[in-house]
Structure 1
Amino acid sequence: MDGVARNPALPTPLLLRLLAFDGGGGRTPRDALQRAGLPESAVALIVAHPNPGARIDFAMSARAEPAQRARLVDDPSPKVRAALAYGPEVYDPRTKVAPLPDAVCARLLDDPDPSVRTALLDSPHLAPSFVASMAAHRDPEARRGAVSAWEILPPAERSALLADPDPAVRRAAALRECRRDARVTAELLRDPGAAAEAQRCGLLVSADAERCAAERTHLAALAENPSLPPDLVERLAVDPDEAVRLAVSLRPELDETRRMAIDFTAGDFDKGDGVRWVRDGLADPEVLRRAATSAHPLLRRAAAKSPHLPSDLLRLLARVEDPVLENLLGIYHPDTPDEVLMRVFARLGGTFSAWMAETHPRFPREGLAVRYADHPDGNYRRLAARDPAATPELIERLSHDPAVWTRQAAAGDPRLPLHRLREVLHVPELASSAGANPALPEDEMVAVLDRAGVPP
């Protein structure tokens, strides 16, 4: 039944039958509730579904249109409204979630249940315009959230947040303002809860910078600070603490000769997440060029997380022998060369990175049947089913493969001969894949629903 629920050829009447399922201890399959392009008749069924779990699944669908999910804003269950407020949980960076309309978010922010308000403020899918609109909200948590839209807030609202009656709001606002105000930075340096971040990003006068260096409390954070005097940068570049030297080596003003003269060690699994100037400039061609052409592995890895890499920089990074870099290209870049994707798959079979490579639109297809149909590793034989030239005979053969993943790939392939498709529909480990096969006849889909006790 779960396979049928995600079958792209599922007729609308059977979809509606699945969506209405809520009897005898049964459940509506999540794949039916979170399908893309649901018709209006299906959405109407879902928002009125008697099981709140079904409505929660729909509220958190990454495939539903925001206006469709927004129809749950008045749901009687606070758990449903909280699910709507937070939105989809997305693990694939390639999946983009459109935010709910600002007016709907405003209603959720004023929801009588605190769990709904908390879920909204924790959501990663809020529009910048709505985040900015929270600056004058009565809830201090909302005002603190508005600080993340600091750059688009009017000066009057920034000033109000800096003088907010709530100390957590004032601190959050000050940590944004300190990047251009040395006086605010000096105040934050006296706040134990804010000192580390102030040393990392605040505008520092020389005396404060020297004092922070002498105290050595947050020295690695200080080494990142853009306003450090050049002489202090030179001293920290030879500091006995390896983390401090690494932070200095990532500074944006260094030329390549100076950068690579620093004695640093880049971690084998470090993805370059901490290189703030690259992370903030992933759409800036100049930032990307400086990072991608650097000999520093963490700068190259940070650049690899940009989907905006021009083709020459992408080709340059694809030639670097760095497994972490290849993984990042496979996850984040839409034009990653197929040979890079294949290397990631070969090296990391069964991991998230391998799955991201295999589901990448540029993952190779042609020639896989010839290359891998008889491979000793079932994980590779499974790839043969991706080849558009694979014959029905080969697909049927793979459906009998010793490796379950290979059999499942064949069971879901529309080229599988019909007699074999009907057979695998009754094999427990293959039934879900067969149910999702778009070549499955409608009468078989009906039979699946009948056997599962789904009322007509």
Structure 2
Amino acid sequence: MHHVLCGLAANPSLPPDLVDRLIAVADADLAEALACRPGLSRAQVSALATGFEAAAVRLAQEGLVGADDVDPAVQPRAALALLEEGAGRPEWARLFAADAPVEHRERLAGCPGLPPDVALTLAADVEVGVVSELALWTTAPEVAARLARHPHTEVRRAVAANEATPPALLAALLSGEGLPAARCCPVCDRRTSPFVHDPHCPEPDCDLPPGAACDGSHESAVHRIHQAALGNPATPAAAAEPFADHASVLLRQELAARPDLSPQVYARLADDSVPWVRARLAENPAIGESLIRRLATDPGHDVRRRLAHHPSLPLDVLVHLAGVARTGPCLLPRLAAASPAEVEELAASPAVVRMLLAQRRNLPDDIRDALAHDPDAKVVKSVAPHPGLSDAQLRAMVERHGAQVVAGVAANPDTTPALLEHLARQRPPVRKALREIARHRHATAPALLICLTDHRARPLAAGHPHLPPRAIVELLADEDWQTVEAAAANPSLPATSMADLVP
């Protein structure tokens, strides 16, 4: 019954009086689901917000309750949600900073626009988690400068990850110059130094990462600070570039993703012995053509696969990579940006390139039609979902290539109801096609009833408004809870059935 009611809570056709009845019998989960409904009346919003804090949080996030509707002493999570949305009151922030559970202070520390006195109070908090959250989200340079000198490495790591941290401070976190040495880290908080954490630690409640170590210099924690700073786009390139020769693969791969390094550093990273580093470099939009061509012959399969997604590939390199890299069924950025002349050139390329080009959904009509009649089934499968194809063209695809293209045709937004029924009746059934049909706006009742026979298409079909009402009602007793919720949320569920379901 719980899943039925949660589905009803999301049903756009549920009459207002039944919404009221659901609110009257709601538990916390159902109230939160009801809070997500559009078009709630002021009285309904008030009833949900007053009776259920989780619902009040959701309504605060949606802007449906304000500061006048929430008492922070009674509903602290709702008050914090308003503070997170910038709609709370400054006195609430002071209240939480001075006297609140740790988890509330942590949430407060991540709120925007904190009054300066509240930020200072949180910066002096005894809980490292609270201070770290402030360090991660503060936009005040003076607060970041203070927290970069904090004795705990976790706070400094959060400062290093904060994109609002001043660049000079990020450079100092990388070099250590001008900052006092940290005095504690997650390792020496728990263990006596020197200590190296066993990657196969048998203690079930141990939360130290594998290989974490501290010999008094907090080496693994400092490494994490460096990693955070190298991944921060606000860190100056001059401070980051020396890490190109660092022994840590994690640091080098973080560096390889940066778009602001010199060509000389990119060239060094292209020679890296670890394919992971070269793969990160290959997808970096800042590398030039010479490096692109060099990486196109890289022996690492992941290097070539990621390079295929580079937005500035020369067309000849793209054609080469199409034949040697597995990119999956996606539109490559370079193909998405191809000019009309380039599209014509690519349409005359080998089948594997035509298949990738066919992923574009804004092809010129003549190119689209030519690909729809391509002799290669993979090309036709790729272009089949393209809008604008006629019913005759789609049927011809199925006649020529059968099951290989059925799912693609079923995904086409212009596929007619009659063709969807034909596709649903394929024998043996094409399971992926049934899932596409079950979510298609043109799907008919006969096609949807067939979709119910597939366990993955069944929940999708259960929520389709063209499913016959009798079938929807029967699905309310289904063994699968997702199917039950989808049926209960179906706008075609009869109003009498809705009324019978609400206690």
**What interval of TM-score do these two structures reach, taking the shorter chain for normalisation?**
0.5 to 0.7
Of the structure 1 ranges 40-49 and 130-139, higher mean CA displacement relative to structure 2 is found in 130-139
Alignment check: 8 A CA contact 1:131 1:149 kept: no
Deviation of 1:11 after TM superposition, in Å, equals: 1.0
Question: Is 1:5 matched with 2:13?
Answer: no
Give 3-state SS (helix, strand or coil) of 2:302's partner. Answer: coil
Deviation of 1:19 after TM superposition, in Å, equals: 1.0
* Equivalent of residue 195 in structure 1, options 226, 234, 239: 226
Alpha-carbon distance in structure 1 between the residues aligned to 2:88 and 2:461: 47
Deviation of 1:116 after TM superposition, in Å, equals: 1.8
Partner residue, 2:103: 115
Alignment check: 8 A CA contact 1:223 1:247 kept: yes
Q: Give the CA RMSD over aligned residues.
A: 5.7
Give 3-state SS (helix, strand or coil) of 2:496's partner. Answer: helix
Deviation of 1:146 after TM superposition, in Å, equals: 5.4
Deviation of 1:172 after TM superposition, in Å, equals: 4.6
Deviation of 1:149 after TM superposition, in Å, equals: 6.1
Alignment check: 8 A CA contact 2:487 2:493 kept: yes
* Equivalent of residue 14 in structure 1, options 18, 21, 28: 18
Partner residue, 2:47: 45
Deviation of 1:186 after TM superposition, in Å, equals: 2.5
Question: Is 1:101 matched with 2:86?
Answer: yes
Structure 2 stretches lacking a partner, 5+ long:
124-128, 182-216, 362-367, 369-380, 387-406
Alpha-carbon distance in structure 2 between the residues aligned to 1:235 and 1:163: 33
* Deviation per residue, 1:307-333 (Å, 9 max, x gap): xx99746999999979xx99x999xxx
Alpha-carbon distance in structure 2 between the residues aligned to 1:386 and 1:200: 40
Alignment check: 8 A CA contact 1:81 1:108 kept: no
Alpha-carbon distance in structure 2 between the residues aligned to 1:72 and 1:166: 39
TM-score (norm 2): 0.55
* Equivalent of residue 488 in structure 2, options 432, 435, 443: 435
Counterpart mapping for 1:261-300 below 5 A: 261-262=294-295, 263=298, 265=300, 267=302, 290=312
Alignment check: 8 A CA contact 2:45 2:59 kept: no
Alignment check: 8 A CA contact 1:179 1:185 kept: no
Question: Is 1:239 matched with 2:272?
Answer: yes
Deviation of 1:38 after TM superposition, in Å, equals: 1.9
Give 3-state SS (helix, strand or coil) of 1:19's partner. Answer: helix
Question: Is 1:68 matched with 2:51?
Answer: no
Partner residue, 1:354: none
Of the structure 1 ranges 434-443 and 181-190, higher mean CA displacement relative to structure 2 is found in 181-190
* Deviation per residue, 1:352-377 (Å, 9 max, x gap): xxxxxx9xxx9726336514221313
Question: Is 1:213 matched with 2:245?
Answer: yes
Deviation of 1:44 after TM superposition, in Å, equals: 1.1
Alpha-carbon distance in structure 2 between the residues aligned to 1:167 and 1:423: 58
Assess, with a 3 A threshold, how the Cα gap between structure 1 residues 380 and 136 changes in structure 2: closer, same or farther. same
Give 3-state SS (helix, strand or coil) of 1:66's partner. Answer: coil
* Equivalent of residue 434 in structure 2, options 365, 369, 381: 381
Assess, with a 3 A threshold, how the Cα gap between structure 1 residues 186 and 431 changes in structure 2: closer, same or farther. closer
Question: Is 1:186 matched with 2:186?
Answer: no
Give 3-state SS (helix, strand or coil) of 1:364's partner. Answer: coil
TM-score (norm 1): 0.59
Counterpart mapping for 1:115-194 below 5 A: 115-121=103-109, 129-130=112-113, 136-140=119-123, 145=133, 153=140, 169=155, 172-173=158-159, 176-178=165-167, 185-187=174-176, 192=219, 193=222, 194=225
Assess, with a 3 A threshold, how the Cα gap between structure 1 residues 37 and 269 changes in structure 2: closer, same or farther. farther
Partner residue, 2:204: none
Partner residue, 1:93: none
Alpha-carbon distance in structure 1 between the residues aligned to 2:489 and 2:231: 51
Structure 1 stretches lacking a partner, 5+ long:
88-97, 273-277, 279-287, 331-336, 344-357
Give 3-state SS (helix, strand or coil) of 1:258's partner. Answer: helix
* Deviation per residue, 1:327-349 (Å, 9 max, x gap): x999xxxxxx9968959xxxxxx
Assess, with a 3 A threshold, how the Cα gap between structure 1 residues 137 and 101 changes in structure 2: closer, same or farther. same
Give 3-state SS (helix, strand or coil) of 2:8's partner. Answer: helix
**Identity score, percent:** 20
Alpha-carbon distance in structure 1 between the residues aligned to 2:22 and 2:41: 14
Deviation of 1:9 after TM superposition, in Å, equals: 0.9
Alignment check: 8 A CA contact 1:108 1:116 kept: no
Alpha-carbon distance in structure 1 between the residues aligned to 2:467 and 2:229: 62
Partner residue, 2:501: 448
Partner residue, 2:37: 35
Alpha-carbon distance in structure 1 between the residues aligned to 2:424 and 2:491: 23
Alignment check: 8 A CA contact 1:223 1:248 kept: yes
Assess, with a 3 A threshold, how the Cα gap between structure 1 residues 424 and 146 changes in structure 2: closer, same or farther. closer
Deviation of 1:20 after TM superposition, in Å, equals: 1.4
* Deviation per residue, 1:189-213 (Å, 9 max, x gap): 988413344566654769x966872
Give 3-state SS (helix, strand or coil) of 1:384's partner. Answer: helix
Alignment check: 8 A CA contact 2:93 2:118 kept: no
* Equivalent of residue 366 in structure 1, options 415, 425, 433: 415
Partner residue, 1:349: none
Alpha-carbon distance in structure 2 between the residues aligned to 1:254 and 1:27: 50
Counterpart mapping for 1:309-348 below 5 A: 312=337
* Deviation per residue, 1:144-189 (Å, 9 max, x gap): 5455567x64x65665555678775566546744468756642269
Alpha-carbon distance in structure 1 between the residues aligned to 2:80 and 2:46: 19
